[in-house]
Amino acid sequence: MKMIQHSPEAGIYPATPDYLHALEVRNPSRFLYVSGTMGLDERGIAGKTLADQLELIWSNLRTILASADMSVDNIVRVTSYLRDPSYAEANQNARVAALKGRVVPTTAIVVQTLVADWLVELEIVAAA
């Protein structure tokens, strides 16, 4: 499988260091579509702070990916659902750290989550 980044420099607004316009995935043999994942511990309890929830989310995603013999290196798309726009920078920083600086297409949407304690929810697509 080969991943090729596409961020044209003319005719469109510029991409940022943590964002690209598109990622081409050539010859994948399988895809993993992961449901919205919250910052809940093994008992289903939400982390107390935004930082706690972001840490739990990425831990939960690593567990889900491992169950499919994948890792964060296989992530090709991230959609973030934020309860408040002020969470954007912390969410971005957690994503950049979790992906070790690897850039993938991403979207952040401000929403009302199903439970008020859920501050962030992430949905990913992975390919292998």
Query: What is the per-residue pLDDT for 19?
Result: 86
| Domains of the chain in sequence order | 19-127 (3.30.1330.40)
Q: What share of the chain is helix, strand, coil (3-state, %, to 5)?
A: 25, 30, 40
CA angle, 98 as apex, 102 and 103 as ends, to 5°? 20
pLDDT of 95-112, one tens digit each?
999 999 999 999 999 999
Element (H, E) at 82: strand 75-82
Q: What is the pLDDT of residue 41?
A: 98
What is the DSSP track for 15-65?
A: P-TT--SEEEEES-S-EEEEEEEESB-TTSPBPSSHHHHHHHHHHHHHHHH
Question: What's the rounded mean pLDDT across residues 109-121?
Answer: 96
What is the reported pTM?
0.94
- What would the pLDDT profile of 59-91 be if each residue is shown by its tens digit? 999 999 999 999 999 999 999 999 999 999 999
